[in-house]
Amino acid sequence: MMRLLFKVLHATGLWCLLVRCGMLLSRLIPLRNDSGMFFFFPCYHIGGAEKVHADIVACFAELTPWVIFTRKSHNTLYRDLFAKSARLFDLWFLGGLYPLSVGLAAGLVNRHENAVAFGCNNIFYYYLVPYLGDKVRKFDLTHAFDGLERYSLPVAHRLEARVAINAKTVADFAQQYRDHGLDARLMDRVVLIENRVEVAPALNLRPTGRPLQVLYVGRGTVEKRAHLVGRVARLCCGQGATAPFTLVGRGLPEAVVADDHAYCRFTGEIHDAGQLQALYRDADVLLLTSSREGFPLVIMEAMGNGAIPIATNVGGIAVHLRHGHNGFLVDGADEERIVREMSVLLIDLATNVETREQVSQAAYRYACEHFSPEGFCAGYRNLLLPAGAGAGKGRT
């Protein structure tokens, strides 16, 4: 219904008229952003993407940029992460007032000299880009192709640079541009900046005489397929190969079939970073059963603590995981096959201590080489700040 309304507004010219009205109204807002930096993110509730967004903003903490949230958050658990580094504004309550809210935001940004606009994971930003002035430097971040890319395509030529977090997304951009006949030179604007995590200072050696400790961290949403984790837990625990699986996240008891609850331990959302780190340090294996992903932060966090990822081969996961070396990959198309193959892998790891230790060490070494914070802030500062503006600084 909303998309149909937007089409009607565009077709009748009312969209542009309402945007212009919003831009005029923005003159009544007596606010100025001294940093000139505007980040447009969807939410500040707990989540992997939200953590990445907060890490990006932290790279510019000394400038106190503005962060505008365009969707209603489920909770406020990551709000403080953003608030440490930026001034925050909730725009979600105006979301239903498209395109008036687009005009308000455009007018506010355009009044600033040398403004920088950076957006990720929200349609609002791609509606906004065409109304930002030519002097506004415009950037976006794509975690993975998940549907939003069709909204970003029409404004690709207006973006100074586009950040991808892995080589798979870079390849997806190249294919999309070819499919739609875009100038191949636009690929020169696609920049790879991998995400960061806190890597443990040393690998924690797990006890060998205990049942295998398996961890799942994620939401109970459809694409995560947490019900498969419950089925794998039933098979493995029934053979005495593992302890009850630990499942961390929102909505998981509802996602897992009730008959499988006896083989799972549900913690709910964990808000304390130290508590979550302790779970990663204790886990032998991280299980991921998703039908689609970019390259999930949970895999990076697991590897940074020596937990072995066993994951469906979707998105950019295979870019970093080598099957049998620093983790294990399972074809993500057939759910019966996922349950069967993950169970076999877990049972083998439970009995083969030498393999478990070798893969754990390889996962940790890979994280040390690829996921540590050095270079993350440098990458974003080199991209967004003008030359000579202290691009190598920022919190990591």
Q: Is the pLDDT at 323 greater than 80, yes or no?
A: yes
Q: According to the model, what pLDDT value does residue 391 have?
A: 47
- Higher-pLDDT residue of 42 and 146 is 42
Contact 38, 117 (CB under 8 A): yes
Tell me which residue of 322, 312, 307, 305 sits closest to 356, measured CA to CA.
Answer: 307
pLDDT-derived band at 396 (thresholds 50, 70, 90) equals very low
Q: Which two tokens stand for residue 221?
A: 């949403």
Residue 185 CA to its chain's centroid (Å): 27
Is the domain covering 2-196+373-384 a CATH 3.40.50.2000 domain?
yes
- Please compute the mean of the pLDDT values over residues 256-272 and round it to a whole number: 95
Band (263; pLDDT cuts 50, 70, 90): very high
Residue for token pair 């998940």: 146
Q: What's the confidence (pLDDT) of residue 262?
A: 97
CA-based torsion, 380, 384, 388, 389: positive or negative: negative
**Residue 3 pLDDT level (bands cut at 50, 70, 90):** low
Confidence bin at 147 (pLDDT 50/70/90) = confident
Write down the pLDDT at residue 28: 93
Given this model, what pLDDT does residue 324 score?
Answer: 97
Pick from 9-18, 189-198, 218-227: least confident: 9-18
Q: What is the mean pLDDT of residues 111-122?
A: 95
* Confidence class for position 7, pLDDT limits 50, 70, 90: low
Q: Tokens 């505007």 sit at which residue?
A: 38
User: Which listed CATH number (3.10.20.30, 3.40.50.2000, 3.40.630.10, 3.30.70.20) goes with 214-370?
Assistant: 3.40.50.2000
Whether omega before 99 lies within 30 degrees of 0, making that bond cis, reads yes
Two structure tokens written together for 311: 């994951």
The pLDDT of residue 395 is: 47
Residue 95 has what pLDDT?
59
- Please give the average per-residue pLDDT across 353-373, as a whole number: 93
pLDDT of 50 reads: 94
What is the structure's pLDDT at 388?
53
From-to residues of CATH 3.40.50.2000 in the chain: 2-196+373-384, 214-370
337-360: average pLDDT: 96
Per-residue pLDDT at 229: 98
Question: Hey, what's the torsion of the CAs at 34, 37, 40, 44, to 10 degrees?
Answer: -70
Whether 321 has a pLDDT exceeding 70, the answer reads yes
pLDDT higher than threshold 70 for residue 92: yes
Give per-residue pLDDT as tens, 237-251.
989 889 999 999 999
**What per-residue confidence (pLDDT) applies to 166?**
87
